[in-house]
Structure 1
Amino acid sequence: MLIVFSLSSLSCCYSLLSIVLFLSPLYRVASLSSLSCCFSLLSIVLFLSPLYRVASLSSLSCCFSLLSIVLLLSPLYRVVSLSSLSCCFSLLSIVLFLSPLYRVVTLSSLSCCYSLLSIVLFLSPLYRVASLSSLSCCFSLLSIVLLLSPLYRVVSLSSLSCCFSLLSIVLLLSPLYRVVSLSSLSCCFSLLSIVLFLSPLYRVVSLSSLSCCFSLLSNVLFLSPLSCFLSPLYRVVTLSSLSCCFSLLSIGFSLSLSSLSCCFSSLLCFSRSSSLTILIMFSLSSSSRSPQKGRTALHWAAGAGNEQALRLLLDHNNEVDVEDSFGMNPLLLAAWFGRLKILQILVASGAKLNCENKNGLGLLHCAAQRGHSRVLEFIMEDLVEDVLLDRVDNSGKTAFHLAAEHGQLEVVEFLIGMGCTHGLKDKDEHMALHLAAKHGHNEVLQKLVETGVDIDERNIDGLTPLHLSSDGGHYECVKLLLQACCNVNALTNKNMNALHYVAQHGFERETSLLLEAGVNTDTVDGQHTSPLHIAVLHNHTEVVRLLIDAECDLDISDHRLQTALHIAAEHGRQDIAEMILIAGVNLKLLDKQGKTSLEVAARGNHVILVDMIIKADRFYKWEKDNVISDDDSWLGKQLSFKQDHQVETQHLRSVTWRLATKDLSRGEWKSLAQHWGFTDAHIRSIEQQWTGTKSFKEHGHRMLLIWLHGVVIAGENPIKGLYEGLTGISRTDLAESIRQKANADTSSPKKCTAM
């Protein structure tokens, strides 16, 4: 037989089926509905079963003895008990390959899978009896099935250890378990079909056989559904079998909300079957609540828009105003989800119109927030006497506020047309205009501006709509408000203008809009912080560039007396620091601790920044002493204070490296620096870097590169400068050596000819 299924031979499969069918006496008796023969055969089977006899006598000790024998005779059980994984897999392989059904599943042979299903169906006497609606045989067979099940007996006796043992055996021998392990989707569906069709109760339900349904339910009460999709009750609902649905529910089947709520809730949302209505009536009464949200069937029906279920529940005296854990009743849910017809039914059934949830949201609030204009029209046109248009929730918001906050333009237009008050404020003193600007709802904002409300109105924190839209980076809203001539320099309670907010978030486009509108770039807030301070602190390079281009004041000090350059130096912002240095800043300003920006950079060990500030300081001194006219100024020219990586100066940088690391002794770099006009502050800042006992070599090299930067900018001869400097500190030997090498090197860009 295994070969047939391995080869997926459909014709041989059917031949084998015929043989198996006729070899079953019990099947033949069941087919003929011969009650006397059925009982005779059953009696034989019963008395031939020692386990049944033990169970009938309720002999617990013998039951355990028999079960122990069965278990100990099972090699697979022994392997599982010993936790021998390798042997377990070996035994499983044997069992699996001996199973034709498993082989079919493994080969994903769909045709043979269906053939095997047919075999299993026709081999089941109970299934045959159920199909033939033979009530007398059905009772007989059911009694046998119950008492012949050792697992059922174990469960009845509450023997936990035996239960686990038996379940372990069943699980490992299950082809369905193997399919799930292999993630074979097609075979999984096939096996699930097998499980469904193997259930007599399921078959009865599918065939809508009412008499057999009662018989099965009366005698097999232990068959409570283990999962949603294997549940006969679930199948009844999906097939809309009314008669069987009544049978199942009246016999005691009920829906467990704790375990099956998701499945049946989804059915409630999407199904319109009459069976589902019956299910709701019996299993989801007003006293049954979902554990998560405390909702009854009436809530689900209202939210899902199931009119049939709603009417049935209302006809059975369900409380129309029952609330869930959020204070939402069916009427509020209908308004929230836009179920107009449901709303009308509930109103006609006497639902309270002035209800509200725990947040104070009423009918208008729910419909307005969700944008259900048709529901609003019904409320305002038919229920206007009972519903207040400007009613507020716990936060002081009206329906108009919520519609503007959530961008519901159609609702906003409707409420304006109904005459709502435009300028009402909530507990935070937000008007609808503030909320639309805050959340970037440009079209709603445009509509509100057209109503003529004050666009510079302030909330509890002193923020105008321009502040809120700037803080959110809502470009179109900022643009609209500026075009409407709002006050671009309006200040909040913290003395901040809109530019502070865009600088904080780095919104470049919004910054440009505000600068074009003439915003004050030098406004300081309560901490005496300017927009430039904020942009530097948050490292928004492009915003800093825009502010510098707008000629903001670079020397404003905050509450710590720090300029923007102090902040850049403290946080190591090289790009921003260079922009500020190129723009021209006062390097002498001190913070509260008496530190210049140079000393702040040195304290933070920002070596590159230290060198940049010294370069800038020396450059501006040179420019002050040497630039006579604007034509000679470096303003607008390509100027940089960063490290030099130009190819043209590579040879000179090599000379300075050799000089600092090979030729100059400890302390000589300081003498050379003083000769070239480095201040004591410059030298201290360079010297603050510590890399070990030979740090002086690194210090000397940095000083020489800073000096070289100034020489290149001034257009002077660097070799000549080195010669004069070394001579000035009495190192004529080094000076002469450099001069000779420079004159001998024809590739040198500068020769020392004027000595």
Structure 2
Amino acid sequence: MLRVWGVSQELLTLTVDELGVATAWESWGLGGPTVLTLKHHMRATSGFPLCLQKFHLLHGASDSRLEDASVLEAMDLQLVLVALSTDAQRQEATKELVDYAAHRGHVEVLRFLLRAGAEKDEKDPFSGFTALQVASWQGHADVVRLLLEEGASADWWDRDGWTALHCAAHRGHVEVVCLLIQNGADKDLKNSSTETALHLASERGHAKTVSLLLEAGVNKNTKDWEGMTALHKACARNRQEVVRVLLESGVDMSAQNPCNDRTALHIACELGHLEIAQSLLANGADYDAARCFVVDGNDSDEGFDFADFSSGETALHLASAGGHVEIVRLLLEAGVSKNIPNKGGETALYQACESNRLEVARLLLESGVHTDVQDGCLGWTALHVASDVGSAEITRSLLAHDVEKDMQCFIHGNTALHIACSDGQVEIARLLLEANADKDAQDSESSTALHLASSRGDSELACLLLEFRAKVDVQNEDGRTALIEASECGHAEIVRLLLAAGADEDVKCSDGRTAWMIACDQRHAEVVHLLRPPEF
């Protein structure tokens, strides 16, 4: 336990951890709070100026004084208040007393100090706060009024560029905000993060403060360094009442963040804030903010819903990828274009499948979206993606809506069945085969699903394909059969399955070797034993 003693009594008892929590904003030493941390705590709770405080080990030697950087532990300390001997010390102590009075809301104490010559605009050397900023942060309207009457500057800023108005708006102190505005505070001044008071109040959800700032004529569409407007921030933090106030003021709903070109509607849809999305749409938010027509091979004459030019993602894309079913429903009912791809050629359905959002995928399918749009990178469709992700339920839903089962992608010519077999997705493969997917479809290298299953040694998949009577002796572009693939990799169980299905052991690949020769070269003894030597 840490104990602090005065001349005749104990002043403070707490653990070092409790001190750390109480002064989390303050300086920490190598192993925890320091003496300087304790000094700040004593100033905040008792008003003792930092420059007057000295700490000694209780019952310690005469030289037991602790330096400010000393790390505290469980100990008993003696607080000694030293006399002021220089003008600099007196000025520093007066400044701390002014800040303490402002922090605590002691109007008469502050009035006395100011009349005694205390500087009203002096900044704290650590934080850069003036007394006006301290009082504004705490919401002490009477103190703020006194300081303004005494001529304190309303627009002085701290080391982070925060003014008194920033402090009051951030904390939602309406009366203080009103006083500052009435006394000429710059309403649109930005802090070091280029945030105005409106940004701060909106993000924190202080609707009354936002309303007051708007009535005072603040720039309601200004952006911070991240390109965020007050509306963007309110939408991101789901501040519904603030959004309502901003919309009633006529804020620009179509304003885009230049970093990612997202509008307020994009933000609400991405984060799943349904009520805000409803408010934006009810107030005419444009989900078709910009349109450019398809120029690639996708069979669609719909415009691109580009309100986000960096990726081409619409509100529907974002809501679908996030699995926000009710927002997707809301957008569909509002008439959003549902089949357009983003810049990567991915539709909302594609992204729902990619993110394994079953309910969203079902909702989109029920709305009649196109199921076979291929992306612009690999040429994958929603079915390819569902097969890759391994979502049996989404695959089942796609197949129930008459999706094209055997569409091949651009790059490798894979069908959904190829992908399922490459990834070991047995349940997906069974669904595709039961839906009459082409079990012998060949990719760009002429490999079938059986080649892929045999190469990876997946006996369950190989058995499934053989159950559906997949051809066993199809040769790929290198003349290799499924048996050759399995033999080279030493997959004896696959070799047994293929031989039982009538695989031809004598087929030669393009280099003239049979499965037996390749197994010998690879020294797969069990496979060599299973295969008979070729007849010479």
1:643-666: per-residue Cα shift (whole Å, max 9, x none)? xxxxxxxxxxxxxxxxxxxxxxxx
Among candidates 549, 567, 573, match of residue 400 of structure 2: 549
- Work out whether residues 286 and 298 of structure 1, in 8 Å CA contact, stay in contact via their aligned partners in 2: no
Secondary structure of 2:254 counterpart? coil
Secondary structure of 2:61 counterpart? helix
Structure-2 residue corresponding to 1:324: 158
Q: 1:688 to 1:539 in 2, by over 3 A?
A: farther
Q: 1:599 to 1:619 in 2, by over 3 A?
A: closer
- Work out whether residues 495 and 527 of structure 2, in 8 Å CA contact, stay in contact via their aligned partners in 1: no
Structure with the bigger RCO (C-alpha within 8 Å, sep 6+) is 2
Q: 1:568 to 1:670 in 2, by over 3 A?
A: closer
Q: 1:326 to 1:593 in 2, by over 3 A?
A: farther
Which amino acid is 1:586 matched to?
Answer: D
- CA apart distance, 1:290: 3.4
Q: Distance in 2 between matches of 1:570 and 1:439?
A: 34
Which amino acid is 1:589 matched to?
Answer: A
1:19-34 equivalent positions in 2, closer than 5 A: none
Q: Distance in 2 between matches of 1:473 and 1:672?
A: 42
Q: Distance in 2 between matches of 1:446 and 1:357?
A: 32
Structure-2 residue corresponding to 1:524: 374
- CA apart distance, 1:314: 4.8
1:448-506: per-residue Cα shift (whole Å, max 9, x none)? 22223433332213222111211221111001111222222122222221011111110
- CA apart distance, 1:275: 9.6
- TM-score, structure 2 normalization: 0.65
Q: Distance in 2 between matches of 1:692 and 1:280?
A: 94
- Work out whether residues 347 and 373 of structure 2, in 8 Å CA contact, stay in contact via their aligned partners in 1: yes
Structure-1 residue corresponding to 2:276: 444
Secondary structure of 2:525 counterpart? coil
Q: Distance in 1 between matches of 2:169 and 2:335?
A: 39
- CA apart distance, 1:698: 7.9
Structure-2 residue corresponding to 1:380: 214
Structure-2 residue corresponding to 1:456: 288
- Structure 1 regions of 5+ residues with no counterpart? 1-145, 159-163, 165-170, 178-194, 202-215, 222-248, 257-263, 622-666, 701-755
Structure-2 residue corresponding to 1:430: 262
Q: 1:296 to 1:252 in 2, by over 3 A?
A: closer
Structure-1 residue corresponding to 2:16: none
Q: Distance in 1 between matches of 2:524 and 2:120?
A: 80
Q: Distance in 2 between matches of 1:434 and 1:341?
A: 34
Which amino acid is 1:151 matched to?
Answer: A
Q: Are 1:473 and 2:305 counterparts? A: no
Q: Distance in 2 between matches of 1:391 and 1:537?
A: 44
What is the aligned-residue RMSD (CA, Å)? 4.4
Q: Are 1:151 and 2:1 counterparts? A: no
Q: Distance in 2 between matches of 1:276 and 1:571?
A: 75
Among candidates 432, 438, 450, match of residue 586 of structure 1: 438
- CA apart distance, 1:518: 0.8
Q: 1:699 to 1:371 in 2, by over 3 A?
A: farther
Secondary structure of 2:124 counterpart? coil
Q: 1:423 to 1:200 in 2, by over 3 A?
A: closer
Q: Distance in 2 between matches of 1:517 and 1:585?
A: 25
1:233-258: per-residue Cα shift (whole Å, max 9, x none)? xxxxxxxxxxxxxxxx96976899xx
Q: Are 1:301 and 2:135 counterparts? A: yes
- CA apart distance, 1:576: 2.0
Q: Are 1:406 and 2:258 counterparts? A: no
Among candidates 331, 334, 338, match of residue 484 of structure 1: 334
1:329-381: per-residue Cα shift (whole Å, max 9, x none)? 22122222211111122223332122112343223333233322211222233
Which amino acid is 1:504 matched to?
Answer: E
- Work out whether residues 472 and 501 of structure 2, in 8 Å CA contact, stay in contact via their aligned partners in 1: no
1:543-563: per-residue Cα shift (whole Å, max 9, x none)? 222222323222122222112
- CA apart distance, 1:426: 3.5
1:648-692: per-residue Cα shift (whole Å, max 9, x none)? xxxxxxxxxxxxxxxxxxx9x9899768644568x969x979995
- CA apart distance, 1:218: 4.1
Structure-1 residue corresponding to 2:457: 605
Which amino acid is 1:602 matched to?
Answer: S
Structure-1 residue corresponding to 2:191: 357
Q: Are 1:366 and 2:200 counterparts? A: yes
Secondary structure of 2:62 counterpart? helix
Q: 1:372 to 1:579 in 2, by over 3 A?
A: same
Q: 1:279 to 1:437 in 2, by over 3 A?
A: farther
Among candidates 267, 274, 288, match of residue 124 of structure 2: 288
Which amino acid is 1:354 matched to?
Answer: D
Q: Distance in 2 between matches of 1:285 and 1:671?
A: 89
1:295-315: per-residue Cα shift (whole Å, max 9, x none)? 455434322313355456556
Q: 1:505 to 1:551 in 2, by over 3 A?
A: same
1:84-99 equivalent positions in 2, closer than 5 A: none
Among candidates 601, 606, 616, match of residue 468 of structure 2: 616
- Work out whether residues 440 and 470 of structure 2, in 8 Å CA contact, stay in contact via their aligned partners in 1: no
Q: 1:312 to 1:449 in 2, by over 3 A?
A: same
Report how many aligned residue pairs link the two structures.
415
Q: Distance in 2 between matches of 1:549 and 1:322?
A: 66
Secondary structure of 2:432 counterpart? helix
1:40-51 equivalent positions in 2, closer than 5 A: none
Q: 1:439 to 1:347 in 2, by over 3 A?
A: same
Which amino acid is 1:364 matched to?
Answer: L
Which amino acid is 1:287 matched to?
Answer: K
Q: 1:440 to 1:401 in 2, by over 3 A?
A: same
1:364-410: per-residue Cα shift (whole Å, max 9, x none)? 333233322211222233x22xx233334344443333333333322
Structure-1 residue corresponding to 2:487: none
Structure-1 residue corresponding to 2:385: 534
Q: Distance in 1 between matches of 2:496 and 2:426?
A: 29
Which amino acid is 1:336 matched to?
Answer: H
Q: 1:678 to 1:316 in 2, by over 3 A?
A: same
- Work out whether residues 326 and 358 of structure 1, in 8 Å CA contact, stay in contact via their aligned partners in 2: yes
Which amino acid is 1:483 matched to?
Answer: E
1:569-584 equivalent positions in 2, closer than 5 A: 569-584=421-436
Q: Distance in 1 between matches of 2:496 and 2:368?
A: 52
Structure-2 residue corresponding to 1:234: none
Among candidates 410, 413, 416, match of residue 561 of structure 1: 413
Which amino acid is 2:194 matched to?
Answer: G
- TM-score, structure 1 normalization: 0.48
Q: 1:535 to 1:280 in 2, by over 3 A?
A: farther
- Work out whether residues 265 and 280 of structure 2, in 8 Å CA contact, stay in contact via their aligned partners in 1: yes
Structure-2 residue corresponding to 1:389: 220
Q: Distance in 1 between matches of 2:527 and 2:148?
A: 89
Q: Distance in 2 between matches of 1:518 and 1:346?
A: 56
Q: 1:599 to 1:374 in 2, by over 3 A?
A: same
Q: Distance in 1 between matches of 2:425 and 2:221?
A: 52
- Work out whether residues 280 and 309 of structure 1, in 8 Å CA contact, stay in contact via their aligned partners in 2: no
Secondary structure of 1:152 counterpart? coil
1:197-249: per-residue Cα shift (whole Å, max 9, x none)? xx697xxxxxxxxxxxxxx7549x9xxxxxxxxxxxxxxxxxxxxxxxxxxx9
Q: Distance in 2 between matches of 1:301 and 1:380?
A: 23
